[in-house]
Amino acid sequence: MRTFVAITLPISDLLDKVLLGVRPMGKVVEGKNLHLTLKFLGEVTNVEEIRKKLEEIVSSRFSITLKGMGAFPNAQNGRVLFVRAYPEDQLRKLAQAVNSKTGEIPLDHPFNPHITILRVKDRRNFSELISKYEDTVFLESKVTSFSLFESILRPDGPIYNEIQKYQLM
């Protein structure tokens, strides 16, 4: 089963408007699928074991701010457009807790707190768009939980099924 651990977030009107605006550029992440990945686990067979280990995580609730944009691998030569997530220290702490409980699964890349909003096949210069939204706050919300998800890849877009939700204190 293909899995990941993430924080789900509501979609703001402004972020929804931005998603509509960038849709012609590539493959937009649908609002219902927006999430902040704490760790991509990939194909796993021990879902029940992982589910139980994640129950051991104790972390406080916190506020999250989605502000500004960025691109991977960089703004001038991007394949992925994202919205930055803050506070980085609190998000890193939660991601490290998830990683320590799932340590047998290596990280596929270093943690970088963000919400992916667009993927493109051909590299693209996102500099102008990133500049335009540099100081824009897209969302402020409380993080009260994180979840373990199954990811089913389909030609028309992925389907994410929540396996278990974990409440923060």
pLDDT, tens digit only, all 169 positions of the chain: 999 999 999 999 999 999 999 999 999 999 999 999 999 999 999 999 999 999 999 999 999 999 999 999 999 999 999 999 999 999 999 999 999 999 999 998 899 999 999 999 999 999 999 999 999 999 999 999 999 999 999 988 899 999 999 999 9
Number of domains the chain contains: 1
109 is an active site residue: no
Active-site pick, 39, 101, 114, 124: 114
Active-site pick, 35, 39, 101, 124: 35
Separation in Å, CA 78 to CA 23, 34, 73, 86: 15, 19, 6, 22
**How many Cβ atoms are within 10 Å of 105's Cβ, its own excluded?**
17
Report the distance separating Cα 126 and Cα 49, nearest Å. Answer: 41
Give the torsion through C-alpha atoms of 98, 164, 11, 107, to 10 deg. Answer: 30
Domain that holds residue 26: 2-167
**What six digits make up the tokens of 88?**
């980085």
114 is an active site residue: yes
Domain of residue 94, CATH code: 3.90.1140.10
pTM: 0.95
